[in-house]
Structure 1
Amino acid sequence: MKLSDRFLRSTLALVIAGLSTGSAFAAQITDWNLDNVVVSGPDSDGNYFSTIYDKAPVDSSANTNGYIKYDLDEGAEPGLKVVNDAPVGVSGSPVDNCIMAAGSATCNGEFQSGKRFKLDQTEVGPIDLVFDLSGNSLNEDNDGLYRVFQKYGNSTGGTLGGFNIGLGFGIGDTFEYSSEGDGLSFVDFGEEPKGSEFSSLFAQGLFGEDEERDRLRGYFSGERSGFGLDLVNEDLFQTTGLFGGEFGYEALFGDWMSYSMAPDGYFYDDDGDPSTDAVLMAHFDAATGKWIMNRALDADGNILTTAEGNEGDQYDSIADVEDALAAQASNLELAACPDEAVPGTACLAGTDAIEDLAKFNVSYFIDPVNLDLFSNPFNLDQDLGGRETFTLRISAVRSVAVPEPSTLALFATGLVVLLGRRRAGRSKGITA
């Protein structure tokens, strides 16, 4: 069924509901419900945090497994917003409604305009984002679907094996998954959805190629890398493992690492503009103790991608990396970036953690069009003007340690049973 047909059917249900005593009523997502959220900050880096709890925070037994992080340069309190009847904009994949980062960006804004809210997992348990619903009408040609623009980071201090995301009602111990056919679901786009529809991908600046936008090939690989996703049922999807080929994420780094585990990189500011991202030129490989440079500069300071994985030129120190870049850009006088930026003047931005190795983009759609607002047990007000809610539950999955072959043999014979189981800096130049 086409989405437009689906909307017409839900609109008809809405009209019928308004003219009868029936309980069906089309649902519109209105706001992020903050009853289980505490906003704090700024920290020393200017970041604010909307910490999400499993109970109302006034309860002393309330626990948290994550937060949404934002700053006031690009974002706004509380870090997430719901947009209905979105302006058309310039996006190549336009949507009618979305859940996105709070701030000036819009659902259909230009590429890399700051649409994704930044959710960090701090413990392995579930993070429950609650949303308010109403029966308000959307525009006539609105399909009623909501694209979720999410960036998902690991701040647990250890590796993670994947994640799952589900729809339901309530929070913490009171959470119940949405039932089949209740009108609330994820959108199934078929066997091969577009990346903008249903995907979980590390930044293209690290893994991938985008010839359409004439961007640099990914630093580690020209092949996209991320988590495969499986729509288990209409209310739950989960990861199926990492993909990416010879130089994909898993091949180079193993399981999904935490921010504190991300290696350092060396960055080059090609335009002298602090509001744009500097570009990753080299990374530190702990296994060899070497700085590996997969990118180089031509004589005019233009960036070239010359290698993948750990196959780039090796250097013993940061100073050697800087000397190599300065020698390559022979027509420039490269120096460290000054405290006061000089627009248009390329400079050496120095080292920082490659933070985007600990986070990735997740894209999916929620369909609340046919949700029965009056049958939900978590309805806060049975009147037509009351507030109704649903929950988006996001949960990380622990890494599973794989025993050595000798250990497996011992386990098989019943002799032994083994149950086993740098800092985080601001990433530059790895936007997706």
Structure 2
Amino acid sequence: MKLKTAAILFATVFLAATAHAGKITSIPTPATGAAGFGGWNLDNVAINVNGTGSYYDEATGAYFFSPDSDLTYAGHVDDGDINNPVLMGYTLAKDWPVGEPAGIKIINDDAGVKAPKPSNCIIATSYRAEHFLDSDDPEQVICSSPFQSHKRYKLAMLPASVDGVGSESIDLVFNVEAEAGSREYQVFQKINNWTDQRLEGFTIEVGFGVGADFQSVDPANLANLNISVPSDIWSDGQLANFSAGLFGPLDKHTGSIGFFDPVQRAGFYIDEYVVGEQPLTSTLHATRTLGSDYAEVPAGAAIANQFGPWLPNTMLPYGIFFDDDGNPETDAELLAWYGYNPATEALGWMGGSQDSDGPFAAISDTEIEAMGANLSYTMGEIDDLVNVGLNYVVTIGDVTTFPGNTFTIRITPTADTSGIGAPTYVGEEPSPLLLFTSSDAQVLLDPKDSFIVGGLLTARVGDADLNLDPLVAEDVEVTISTDTGLSATLTLLEQGENRGVFAATLPEEFSAVPAGTVVTMSYDDVSEEVTKTSSSVAQDMDTPILSDVNFTEFTVVDTITDGRTRAITVAFKNDKDAEEAATGTLKVTGSDGSEFTSEFVDLAPNKKVKTKFRWTADLDQGAIVDWTAQLILTGGIVVDEAYATTTIEEKIPGKNR
């Protein structure tokens, strides 16, 4: 790979600390006293806080949500033109109470970070689970916080960044101050294609100024401000990725195989990546994809422009999701999607790459209707298809060499030049829709029957009578009570427009109750003229569960013709109340001599693994195959077993179709 030596210098020796170096400013925020405020310069940003009378004070970081607010906010980033500012992008992070305005903070000197990653970071203003802003002890997410703790802020790139008029970039400016030594900052960021058109890549640049006044770093000063993708931290395939749950092999963090591609991650290479070197450069270029099936899903669907170059959010397919952790506020598991299926030569619902009936097998209307009647299923756009997670480092050296007391990280999307149009599913309403169609309401307090003291409780209602406007996500109120005297009204939110299913988690006071307490939700079903209830009983967990891995699915084909190949589907999960991650082996054996194994490493509490094996029937080995699945932890302890049977039929010419 050739590098532009005019813009890139190679570091061949360790850079000594300079007498005058610098860092990004970070001071406590007024809301919680946590560090992070003051580093993000808001001169070209307006923090919009939802609600009449809501506000954000850019000088102090103080904020207020009015009673009519939905607790959301966004940073509107413009091109810096004082007379006629143009909106270039949105900065988005987790909403209150999971996160707080402004959305981006700076952490310096995180002692928990393990080398070679930097101990400083530019990160989202999120708070840790069980320690959100509405708790008694808020605890913010920092550089060393665990995976999936909402560390990445999102930058939504808007149409003005590719319209060919004026500036084509989104500029994020940061305040610096002098100190001894230099600092490296890991940037936890996602970039989202909201440009209304396909993209073929992007650049990330460091420099000074905003919009038309932006200047890149002088090559002679790269030691004091540069951007890099160190090979001792990341491989070349880890720098710019779409979600691991959508593309790629089994991921130890998510416990899932890529829904669309089970082999290759989707995303981009960074041209400046060099193994064993850390080039000093002002710009990173993403011009080449990682080569996953993002370009064409399923195989043969290119005639429908599906998917092709990087999709914008105006071209997203719909998916059906299952709430696998019982919490409607977290990401659910993708089970089905609507698009062009080459097997049927038509638009329709289908499964994913590892579907038990074969890759991207069509899903019948009857199955979709059954999902619609289940309160744990939702439908919505698969928005992770436009989000690319980035990994890179910005180094701050002697800030006295800067033209001012700020520097800029500039993101510039590259418009696609292939001419490929929108996918054929765009503008088509999925058929059938995922609807709860009954006026005879269903109610569910989840988990039903019993729950662990202090655990999560979720109230759900399904009622077609409440789905008054198919274009609006509505709400409904239910009553929550205990047999010890607690009582409250809880507002449930519709799980997507035109769904007819509503859900919300209960306040902690209703789950942190003594063992034996009965918690009940009540809903007045007006059309049936009856009050419907669902209850769950609090139970103590007698002893701590270090790791409790159990099967949640073991599916084999009941009957198969000799010589045919089918999938064996296995899913298992570490209990949500486990205190340790689990490591071990999944082993599936058949009485015909078949054996399949798969390793799992550091399976975190409440995380699930789903995998599939391809098996071919062989009549010579026996007409009936008895299957055994085992979960074997490190040390040889078998913690769970599951059993199934397959009957093999002889292949008869003209039959067995």
| TM-score, reference length from structure 1 | 0.71
Q: Does 1:220 align with 2:220?
A: no
Q: Is 1:153 matched with 2:192?
A: yes
Aligned partner of 1:217: which letter?
I
1:248 aligned counterpart, secondary structure: helix
Flag the 1:242–1:208 CA change in 2: closer, same or farther, 3 A: same
Q: Secondary structure at the match of 2:270?
A: strand
- In structure 2, give the amino acid aligned to 1:230: D
Cα deviation 1:183-227 (Å, max 9, x = unaligned): 11112525x861599600000010123453470101111221101
Cα 1:147–1:283 shift into 2, 3 Å: same
Among candidates 382, 393, 396, match of residue 368 of structure 1: 396
Q: Is the 8 A contact 2:259 2:352 kept in 1?
A: yes
Pair 1:243–1:250, CA change in 2 (3 A) = farther
* Secondary structure at 1:76 match in 2: strand
1:237 aligns with 2:284: yes
Does the Cα contact within 8 Å between 1:88 and 1:94 map onto a contact in 2? no
The ranges of structure 1 where at least 4 consecutive aligned residues each deviate by more than 4 angstroms after the TM superposition are: 43-46, 91-94, 195-198, 249-252, 422-427
Alignment partners' CA distance in 2, 1:390 and 1:197: 28
Structure 1 residue 48 corresponds to structure 2 residue 81: no
**Residues 382-412 of structure 1: CA deviation (Å, up to 9, x unaligned):** xxxxxx1011111111110359xxxxxxxxx
Local SS of the residue matching 1:351: strand
Hey, which of these two has a bigger chunk of helix by percent? Answer: 1
Given that 1:26 and 1:135 are in contact with CA atoms closer than 8 Å, whether structure 2 keeps it comes out as yes
Q: Displacement of 1:276 after TM fit?
A: 2.9
SS at match of 1:100: strand
Partners of 1:293 and 1:92 lie apart in 2 by 41
Deviations 1:274-303 (A, max 9, x none): 2432100011014621111127xxxxxxxx
| Selected match of 1:66 from 85, 89, 92 | 89
Asked whether 1:201 is paired with 2:241, we answer yes
Match of 2:21 among 17, 20, 26: 26
Q: Do the aligned partners of residues 152 and 45 (structure 1) sit closer, same or farther apart at CA in structure 2, a change above 3 Å counting?
A: farther
Decide which of 371, 374, 390 is 1:336's aligned counterpart. 374
**For the residues of structure 1 that align with 2:84 and 2:340, how far apart are their CA atoms?**
41
Mapped pair 1:36 → 2:44:
yes
Q: Which amino acid aligns with 2:363?
A: Y
Could you say which structure has the higher strand fraction?
Answer: 2
Residue 433 of structure 2 corresponds to which residue in structure 1? Answer: none
C-alpha change, 1:46 and 1:263, in structure 2 (3 Å) is farther
Which one has the largest radius of gyration?
Answer: 2
- Aligned with 2:106 (options 82, 93, 115): 82
- Report the 3-state secondary structure (helix = DSSP H, G, I; strand = E; otherwise coil) of the residue aligned with 2:271: strand
Could you say what secondary structure the match of 1:61 adopts?
coil
Q: Give the structure 2 partner of residue 320 of structure 1.
A: 367
Counterpart selection for 2:355 from 279, 283, 306: 306
Structure 1 position 271 matched with structure 2 position 330 = no
Question: 2:179 matched to which residue of 1?
Answer: 136
Q: What is the distance in 1 between the residues matched to 2:143 and 2:373?
A: 39
Give the whole-Å Cα distance in 2 for the aligned partners of 1:74 and 1:92.
28
1:291 aligns with 2:365: no
Other structure's SS at 1:145 match: strand
Q: Cα gap change, 1:367/1:158 in structure 2, threshold over 3 Å: closer, same or farther?
A: same
Deviation at 1:72, TM superposition (A): 1.5
Q: Greater shift after overlay, 225-234 or 265-274?
A: 225-234
**CA contact 1:226–1:249 (8 Å) conserved in 2:** no
Contact 1:197–1:363 (Cα < 8 Å) also in 2: no
Q: Whole-Å Cα distance in 2 between the matches of residues 45 and 263 of structure 1?
A: 27
CA distance in 2: counterparts of 1:169 and 1:47, whole angstroms: 30
Q: Which has the higher contact order (CA 8 A, sep 6+)?
A: 1
Identity %: 29
1:394 — aligned with what? 411
Name the aligned partner's letter for residue 259 of structure 1. N
- Taking a change above 3 Å as real, the CA distance of residues 263 and 45 of structure 1, as seen in their structure-2 partners, is farther
How many residues align? The count is 344
**Paired letter, 2:294:** G
How far apart, in 1, do the equivalents of 2:116 and 2:310 lie? 28
Q: CA deviation at 1:42?
A: 2.3
Question: CA deviation digits over 1:18-51, x for unaligned, max 9?
Answer: xxxxxxx111112011111101132887531101
RMSD of the TM alignment (CA)? 3.3
Distance 1:42 1:225 in 2: 34
In structure 2, distance between residues paired with 1:112 and 1:188: 21
Give per-residue Cα distances to partners, 1:339-395, cap 9 Å, x unaligned: xxxxxxxx3x221000000111011001113x3x23322x1xxxxxxxx10111111
